[in-house]
Chain A
Amino acid sequence: MADVTLLARPQPSSRLVVLVKRLFGGPLNALLTVLVLWGAWSAAAPLVRWAVVDAVLLPAEPAACRDATGACWSFVVAKSGQILFGIYPIDERWRPMLVSAALLGLLGYSLRPAAWRPSLAVLWAIALPASFLLMFGGFAGLSYVATTMWGGLPVTLILAVASLGGALPLSILLALGRRCELPAIRILCVLFIELTRALPLLTILFVASILLPLLVPEWLLPDKFFRALIALLLFAAAYLAEVVRGGLQALPPGQAEAAQALGLGYWRTQRHVVLPQALAAVIPSLTNTVIVMIKNTSLVLVVGLFDLISSGKAALADPEWSSPAMETYLFIAAVYFALCFGFGRFASALERHARTDP
Chain B
Amino acid sequence: MNPLANPPQSLAVELVGLHKWYGSFHALRGVDLAVAPGERIVICGPSGSGKSTLIRCINQLERHQAGTVSVDGEEAAPDPRRLQSVRRKAGMVFQGFNLFPHLTVLQNCTLAPVQSGLASLAEAQATALELLARVRVADQAHKHPAQLSGGQQQRVAIARALCMKPKIMLFDEPTSALDPEMVKEVLDTMIELARDGMTMLAVTHEMAFARQVADRVVFMDEGRIVEEAPPQDFFERPQHARTRAFLGQLLH
A265 to B101, CA, bound (A): 19
Q: Which A162-219 residues sit within 8 Å CB-CB of chain B?
A: none
Contact A358–B98 (Cβ < 8 Å): no
A280 interface hit (Cβ, 8 Å): yes
Contact A358–B80 (Cβ < 8 Å): no
B111 interface hit (Cβ, 8 Å): yes
Residues of chain B touching chain A, judged by Cβ–Cβ distance below 8 Å, are 59, 61, 80, 84-85, 87-88, 90-92, 94, 96, 98-103, 111-112, 115-116, 144, 157, 160-161, 164
A255 to B94, CA, bound (A): 11
A257 cross-chain contacts in B, Cβ below 8 A? 61, 94, 98
Q: Which of B80, B85, B103, B111 contacts A262 (CB 8 A)?
A: B111
A276 to B90, CA, bound (A): 26
- State how many angstroms separate the Cβ of A351 from the closest Cβ of chain B: 13
Contacts A260-B61, A264-B115; A280 near B164 (Cβ below 8 A): no
Q: 16 A-B pairs, CB-CB below 8 angstroms? A: A257-B98, A258-B94, A259-B100, A260-B61, A261-B92, A261-B94, A262-B91, A262-B111, A263-B85, A263-B112, A264-B112, A272-B111, A273-B100, A277-B100, A277-B101, A358-B102
- State how many angstroms separate the Cβ of B236 from the closest Cβ of chain A: 35
How many residues on A have C-beta within 8 angstroms of the other chain's C-beta atoms?
Answer: 21
Chain A 255-290 interface 0/1 with B at a Cβ cutoff of 8 Å (1 = within): 101111111111010001100110010000000000
Q: Is the interface of A mostly helix, strand, loop or mixed?
A: helix
A254 interface hit (Cβ, 8 Å): yes
- Besides A254-B98, A261-B161, 16 more A-B contacts (Cβ < 8 Å) are A255-B100, A258-B92, A258-B98, A259-B112, A263-B88, A263-B112, A263-B164, A264-B111, A264-B116, A272-B111, A272-B115, A273-B111, A354-B102, A358-B101, A358-B102, A358-B144
Q: Which of A258, A261, A354 contacts B100 (CB 8 A)?
A: A258
Contacts A257-B61, A257-B94, A272-B115; A262 near B102 (Cβ below 8 A): no
B59 cross-chain contacts in A, Cβ below 8 A? 261
Contact A263–B98 (Cβ < 8 Å): no
A268 cross-chain contacts in B, Cβ below 8 A? 115
- State how many angstroms separate the Cβ of B44 from the closest Cβ of chain A: 22
A255 to B97, CA, bound (A): 9
